[in-house]
Amino acid sequence: MSQQEERAWRTRAPVTYALIAANTLIFLATAASSPQGFMAALENMDSLTLLHWGAKYGPLIWEGEYWRLAAAMFLHGGILHLAFNMYALLALGPPVEQLYGKARFLLIYLAAGIAGNAASLAFNQGLSIGASGAIFGLFGALLYVARRVGGQAGRQLWGQLLLPLIINLAYGLFNPVIDMYAHLGGLAGGAAMAYVASPPAVVVQLWSGSAGEARRARRVGWLWRAVVALALAAAVAAAALHPHGWYGDLQRGNRLYVQGRYAAAAKAYQSALDQRPDLPSGYCLAYYNQAMAYLKLGQPEQAKQNLEKVVQIDPGFDGAQILLNQLRTASR
């Protein structure tokens, strides 16, 4: 593809730019809502805020909060995480959007993101966020195009895609923070939806520059628009539902804590602990937050007991260990 053609493609990618804007605005709103403060959240978002906004978390999804499979792809853990993913979306989004059209491109993106989170859910019950599953889906869509086009154009596209794809997959294998299940699930989901969303002949003709096929591809049928609109409406409606049960009490405790109502917050955290003693992650969060409320109430011994339980359940909870050591030193 010539530089002139590439520039033309990038100026005709409204959905790509809308997705970048949506991810950025949601990230800023998430950071603004974090109890740790806006600037601190920009660098490293706390888990409770991400859970509240819809992070993929196995125990909550299995309890019925399936909307998290879609919501999690719009959340990011820090400014660098967001910047890396948006740069990749800017590189891969315009060509896929031009080949498939706006509605089908959005369908591929969303389906790949959901497929990535579903794969992550199947093999990893922990918290997971980010647009990378959907972005790997765009890799999958372009690889499908390269296979269908064949010939010199197909080989050229393969050559452009294969090295960055291998580098990204290899980096994920050696970085324990990265959710490889989401990446692989998104890659497969994007390729599968690329096959479903557009007849191969249309993609081939578009790549070869046929004006007739390009006009045909732009006349996206009402069915695709309806599917995308319904999927988005369902995700928005589900995201509007308030958390319930133990997680609702956990969030209620957080709100009370921010309001300075520490005694009420401690009771809310205890309610969460009483309901779900079988969830280690929820256990740790409730114990830790309750310890913070106890400290505000001037009850360091109760806080210390909570922190000891947190460290016992999760020895890798560094914040709890540091605070516990400080309390032990102060009590000597």
Is the backbone of residue 245 left (phi > 0), alpha (psi -120 to 50) or beta?
left
pLDDT tens digits in sequence order for the chain, 332 residues long: 455 555 555 557 899 999 999 999 999 999 998 887 889 889 888 887 888 899 998 777 876 788 999 999 999 999 999 999 999 899 889 988 888 888 889 999 999 999 999 988 888 777 889 999 999 999 888 888 777 665 655 566 665 666 666 766 666 666 666 788 888 889 888 888 888 776 555 555 555 555 554 454 444 444 545 555 555 555 555 444 444 466 667 777 877 887 888 898 888 888 888 876 665 555 677 788 888 889 889 898 988 998 888 888 777 777 788 888 888 888 76
User: What's the pTM value of the predicted model, to 2 decimals?
Assistant: 0.63
**Are 98 and 13 a contacting pair, CB within 8 Å?**
yes
* From 52, 76, 81, 183, active-site residue: 183
281 is catalytic: no
Instruction: Provide CATH 1.25.40.10 ranges for the chain.
Output: 245-330
76 catalytic per annotation = no
List 120, 128, 132, 198, catalytic entry:
132
User: Which residues of the chain does CATH 1.20.1540.10 include?
Assistant: 3-239
Residue with tokens 């949506």: 22
CA separation for the pair 240, 181 (Å, rounded): 27
> Which phi and psi angles does 314 have, rounded to 5°?
-135, 90
Beta strands (DSSP E) in 45-106 are none
Instruction: Please give the class, per CATH, of domain 245-330.
Output: mainly alpha
Q: Topology of 3-239 in CATH?
A: Rhomboid-like fold (1.20.1540)
